[in-house]
């Protein structure tokens, strides 16, 4: 299996808000949904999927294991609980959400448990999130690069993460971009706006198309049906070399996801 290029993110969406977002997204054509244990919305995501009428086999469902569940005796049971909430017997992709802070749980332990979950059929693919070059290298030594479906990391025009993405490309590991729109900050950028105007597109479509053309998957979220539908059209927008060069020049190392006590030493 391969990670779909375009999916729906559900970070920060809860209750009826996430139910409506997932329902609308499925209705306008999304078929990949990204959630996580720490988002506290798996049950609502599962409800929305169940009520949508979309066959489970048509969907690509991702969840992420939280750092409190990394012990070998906890990870698989926690994933089974996620499956119960999501109303499914397996997910398509399970990620380690963040590396264990200060190596509190050895990587060999939690990646071993994640591999066990795959062997048991609880998840079709496994991967990591927020892993640096060094951490990814360690994961490759433990699992092999071919076993790592993706490294989901923050990538936006303002944080292009070129060292890490270059390393992933060398290793044949797919990159998934989250916060591609930098919480909406890049939508106000005059360079992005000018490119959008030239193409008759929206700034969001431009930023998403940029990431897609670099080969990354994207998982933008929205609570508005019109935006969900509009964002999906980024997959058909073709930026030219000049557009891509202009966006490349916007990189400023502007990181938004950097939780104290959890985030690793970034590249």
Task: List residues with catalytic annotation.
Answer: 39
- The C-alpha torsion from 26 through 61 and 231 to 14, rounded to 10°, is 80
Helix, strand, coil percent values for the chain (each to nearest 5): 50, 15, 35
How far CA 176 is from CA of 74, 131, 153, 180, in Å, comes to 26, 12, 6, 10
> What are the phi and psi torsion angles at 111 (to 5°)?
-75, -35
Residue 174 marked ligand-binding: no
How far is Cα 93 from Cα 22, in angstroms, rounded to an integer? Answer: 18
How far is Cα 130 from Cα 178, in angstroms, rounded to an integer? Answer: 10
* Beta-bridge partners for 129: 152
CA 110 to chain centre: 20
How far is Cα 180 from Cα 207, in angstroms, rounded to an integer? Answer: 7
């Amino acid at each position: 299996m391969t990670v779909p290029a375009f999916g729906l993110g559900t970070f920060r969406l809860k209750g009826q808000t996430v139910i409506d977002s997932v329902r609308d997204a499925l209705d306008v054509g999304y078929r990949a949904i990204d959630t996580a244990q720490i988002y506290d919305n798996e049950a609502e995501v599962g409800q929305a999927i169940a009520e949508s009428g979309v066959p489970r086999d048509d969907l690509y469902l991702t969840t992420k294991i939280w750092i409190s569940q990394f012990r070998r005796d906890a990870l698989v049971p926690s994933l089974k609980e996620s499956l119960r909430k999501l109303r499914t017997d397996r997910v398509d992709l399970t990620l380690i959400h963040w590396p264990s802070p200060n190596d509190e749980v050895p990587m060999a332990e939690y990646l071993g448990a994640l591999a066990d979950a795959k062997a048991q059929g609880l998840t079709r693919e496994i991967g990591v999130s927020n892993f640096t070059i060094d951490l990814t290298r360690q994961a490759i030594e433990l699992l092999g690069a071919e076993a790592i479906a993706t490294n989901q990391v923050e990538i936006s025009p303002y944080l292009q993460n070129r060292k890490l993405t270059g390393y992933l490309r060398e290793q044949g590991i797919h990159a998934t971009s989250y916060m591609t729109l930098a919480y909406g900050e890049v939508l106000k950028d005059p360079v992005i706006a000018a490119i959008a105007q030239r193409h008759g597109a929206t700034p969001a479509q431009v930023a998403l198309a940029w990431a897609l053309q670099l080969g990354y998957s994207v998982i933008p979220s929205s609570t508005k049906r019109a935006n969900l539908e509009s964002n999906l059209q980024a997959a058909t927008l073709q930026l030219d070399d000049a557009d891509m060069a202009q966006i490349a020049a916007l990189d400023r190392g502007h990181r938004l996801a950097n939780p104290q006590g959890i985030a690793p030493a970034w590249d």
